[in-house]
Structure 1
Amino acid sequence: MPDKHLTDLTIRRPDDWHLHLRDGAMLQAVLPETTRHFGRAIIMPNLVPPVVTASDASGYRDRILAAMPPGASFTPLMTLYLTEDTDPDDVERAHRDGIATAVKLYPAGATTNSASGVRDFDKVRPVLDRMAAIGMPLCVHGEVTDPAVDIFDREAVFIDKVLKPIRKKNPDLRIIMEHVTTEDAVDYVRDTPKNLAATITTHHLIINRNHILAGGIRPHYYCLPVAKREKHRIALVQAAVSGDTRFFLGTDSAPHTDARKLQECGCAGVFSAPNTISCLAEVFDVAGKLGKLEAFTSLNGPAFYGLPPNTNTIRLVKGDPVSYPSHIQTKDGPVTVFDPGFALHWRVES
């Protein structure tokens, strides 16, 4: 049956290869939104203070597991926040003992809680060398932070000024370019034969920069990296629906309370965990590529990380529009759920 006529689809349970769960009251509120549909997730380490050591990651994982809703089957895959003082021995120990799956590189000042990130990349060379030797992946927030570089160009400049030199010095290091937003990044990944992959978010497949700025500022669409021109969104969709094993889902679902989003200097982040799978099914359906949805959400990511795909499944059924709450409540205040701007016809029946 052609993809465009599908109304019932069963796929392996998805994974989220880039997720923010925060901590405390926020963690308690948002975790069930992920465990409802996802089997695993790469957990971002940019807490305050950040998750830098194996001990930090172990403690954070314990807090996540303690917050799990009853009956949930979900595995948090922890990451270590790379700093210029990160100890290679501690990184290797965390990987060997199954505490941390990857290390996260934030250029200092690139996004939320990234002040402890890297400024001098030569200072982290011993860590990157060790990671290449033990096969531990590096997750990269791919933007430069030089104020002289336009915000819409920071991903492309990062590829030339930072990523290419890293890969030249560490060709065996496995790298994930997270939340790519440009045609430049898509082309760079496609032109790279090995050890490089990219995650794509739900919201970057749907919004462009007009959604943020045209007709008024819409803070709930503001994220970092910021959404780009329509041609870049189209390139992301083409990559996601292609079946290319180097592209997979990382939602970058990043909850902030409305009080933190709706202020003079609001926080960057889109909270998409509740409705991501319905949104993605809609995107793939419109593209006539529903048959590729499982690869993007459930197969390509585990293959790059060297993990087996989930054995259980979820079922998606197309019908009347399905609604999701506009907000979820936390003890710290409401968090707005991503609004794709169109009706969602695919319901997830786990």
Structure 2
Amino acid sequence: MEFTKLEEIELPAAFDAHVHLRDGPMSQLVTPTIRNGGVNQVYVMPNLVPPITTVQQCIEYRDRLKAIEPNVDYLMSLYLHESITPEVIREAKKAGITGVKSYPAGVTTNSSSGVIDYKTFYPVFAEMEAQSMILNLHGEVPSTPSHAPSSATKDSAAITILNAEPAFLPTFITLHKAFPNLRIILEHCSTAAALAAVQSCGPTVAATITAHHLSLIIDDWAGDPFCFCKPVAKTPEDRDALLRAVVAGNGRFFLGTDSAPHDSRKKRGEDKIAAGVFTQPYAVGYVLDALVKGIERGVVKEEEVTTEVLEGFLGGWGRRFYGAEDKREERIVVKKWRQNVSDVLRKDGLEVEVVPFRRAEKTWQVTWK
């Protein structure tokens, strides 16, 4: 297969292992776009306001999503919080909840209730290990406050959004060593260092890579709020390492878009820019575009982008790690550069609107067989 010469390709429907579908009007706007992106199965993040910390909340949230778009399978997660106990983990397992998402306190959108000390959750992790539930890690540490005294960074480097991910990796490795049979996913890797850390771990560890991190570097988001996310995109070398991981990661890395919708006013009309890139309606197309660019730059070889790689990264490897069978067994046809990315996503009767990644550009068009 000469990937760059293809005009269309048929693939199994994708599995997106990391999505933000929000709630209320925003959820009504974005949830119907999942299938537009070639995806029929998603792993849903729990950082609502308030966060999803009980089994009942989680099941009710899943029911709301199903009511909006019934033709998608929703894998659900709890938010790691002081109220999560081993007993809650056992209850969650019985209810069919897949995993628990950990956010360091204050590091990203709706993470104010996040983790300060991971050791306090060791009994929870031990029960998750016993129940074969997945721990999803947002792999960053909070930035050093700008008003912190100089003594605060005397013995260690100050933390910024540029080194927040590398600074978290020792914690990640420590957790894996403490619980070697706990299934852990390091979410939305943005650096070559994170990829290497995952590769250094045993087979119970994997990682997600977003569509936008396969394309962006720091210069792209520095002047464009719609490319700003956390973790932020890093250097060209980091971006290219992510592309290499797609084709040469031996199934350890798979798609988790981290598609994160924010009302357009929160991206450019308030004092602070909301962190999140919205990619849901064009998920598969964005990945294919990034691979084309990677081949053109010589980062990825033409012969490395095989049907096996595409099927694996876009769904197969993630489903295997999650133990998530695609009961629908649907297939998509993706046609090269036939789709115009909309300027804005809106719907009559809803006050929110969202600007997609790479607005007004062309990408691959998804049709369902």
**Which category of TM-score, normalised to the shorter sequence, fits these structures?**
over 0.9
Please state whether the residue corresponding to 1:180 is helix, strand or coil: coil
Within 1, Cα distance between the matches of 2:13 and 2:181? 30
Within 2, Cα distance between the matches of 1:323 and 1:30? 17
Q: How far apart are 1:93 and its partner, in Å?
A: 1.2
Give the length in aligned residue pairs. Answer: 340
Within 2, Cα distance between the matches of 1:123 and 1:159? 18
Aligned equivalent of 2:184, options 175, 179, 183: 175
Structure 1: state its 5+ residue gaps: none
Q: How far apart are 1:140 and its partner, in Å?
A: 0.5
Within 1, Cα distance between the matches of 2:83 and 2:72? 32
Partner of 1:131: 128
Tell whether the 8 Å contact from 1:180 to 1:200 is kept in structure 2 after alignment. yes
> Are 2:35 and 1:25 aligned?
no
Partner of 2:233: 227
Aligned equivalent of 1:157, options 167, 170, 187: 167
Tell whether the 8 Å contact from 2:86 to 2:127 is kept in structure 1 after alignment. yes
Aligned equivalent of 1:81, options 79, 82, 97: 79
Please state whether the residue corresponding to 2:163 is helix, strand or coil: helix
Tell whether the 8 Å contact from 1:284 to 1:293 is kept in structure 2 after alignment. no
Tell whether the 8 Å contact from 1:257 to 1:334 is kept in structure 2 after alignment. yes
Partner of 2:2: 2
TM-score by length of 1: 0.93
Within 2, Cα distance between the matches of 1:218 and 1:128? 38
Tell whether the 8 Å contact from 1:181 to 1:233 is kept in structure 2 after alignment. yes
Partner of 1:93: 91
Name which of structure 1's ranges 88-97 and 167-176 shifts more when overlaid on structure 2.
88-97
Please state whether the residue corresponding to 2:206 is helix, strand or coil: strand
Partner of 2:299: none
Structure 2: state its 5+ residue gaps: 145-157, 296-301
Partner of 1:314: 332
Partner of 1:207: 216
* Distance 1:171-1:137 versus aligned 2 partners, 3 A rule: same
Within 2, Cα distance between the matches of 1:108 and 1:146? 11
Deviations 1:112-141 (A, max 9, x none): 000111101121111101001111010110
Aligned equivalent of 2:284, options 277, 280, 286: 277
Over the aligned positions, Cα root-mean-square deviation in angstroms equals 1.6
**Identity score, percent:** 37
Please state whether the residue corresponding to 1:204 is helix, strand or coil: helix
TM-score by length of 2: 0.88
Within 2, Cα distance between the matches of 1:342 and 1:228? 22
Amino acid at match of 1:303: R
Please state whether the residue corresponding to 1:322 is helix, strand or coil: strand
Q: How far apart are 1:188 and its partner, in Å?
A: 1.3
Partner of 2:150: none
Q: How far apart are 1:243 and its partner, in Å?
A: 5.6
Please state whether the residue corresponding to 2:100 is helix, strand or coil: strand
Amino acid at match of 1:153: N
Within 2, Cα distance between the matches of 1:185 and 1:256? 27
Q: How far apart are 1:110 and its partner, in Å?
A: 1.1
